[in-house]
A and B are shown apart, each in its own frame.
Chain A
Amino acid sequence: MRDRLGEFGNDAAIALITFAEADNSAPYRSRMDLPFPMLVDTARETYRSYGLERGSFRRIWGPKTAKRYIEIFRANGISRPGRPTEDTLQLGGNFVIDRRGTITYAFRGRGPDERPDVGELINAIQDAGP
């Protein structure tokens, strides 16, 4: 995503929302050097208001997840990840909101392996821009 950040347009606001405690998110922020703000929602009220639920243990920790993590660790050179300290069943998602405050794109992953393509997000934000 970082490589294609310019394609989102200078006008777009991008925010990452996490439910991790600040102490846990700090190493991630440092490693990722995020070019946009990280919002902290430890109570997960925002997750609930956007309809992001907890997944089933079987779905979250099944073979598709193992495959996905292997891909990530290969790409990032991480050989031994730390033990998760947060709720690993919480699902993520992506939303695009237009200039008037209306949701124009919604993606709710059912597991860690389900994420939208960056091109799909770029198209969604460009469509929301006019």
Chain B
Amino acid sequence: MNSHVVVGDPAPTIDLETADGDKWRLSDHLGRPVLLIFHRHIH
């Protein structure tokens, strides 16, 4: 089992591409509240 990040922890880094090919980094959004929605599979 992973050691889960919990409330109060620093958010793990995110550096991904969007489906449109743009870069999206969590660090670029410091100063704003962020909602991350991790999707399950797409059918």
Contact = CB atoms under 8 A, between A and B. Distances in A.
A90 B34 contact: no
Interface string B1-16: 1111111111111101
A81 interface: yes
Nearest to B30: A101
B36 A128 contact: no
Interface string A96-125: 111111111110110010000000010011
Given A24-B42, A87-B41, A49 B35 contact: no
Contact of B16 (A39, A93, A95): A39
A47 to B, nearest CB: 6
Given A9-B33, A97-B26, A97-B33, A103 B11 contact: yes
Contacts of B4: 50-51, 106, 108
Contact of B14 (A39, A52, A90): A39
Given A13-B35, A96-B34, A99-B30, A90 B9 contact: no
Given A17-B38, A40-B17, A53 B10 contact: no
B31 to A, nearest CB: 5
Chain A contact surface mostly? mixed
Contacts of B26: 97, 101
Contacts of A95: 11, 35-36, 38
A19 B42 CA distance: 9
Contacts of B1: 53
Of all A-B residue pairs in the complex, the 3 with the closest CB atoms, nearest first, are: A51-B4, A49-B12, A86-B41
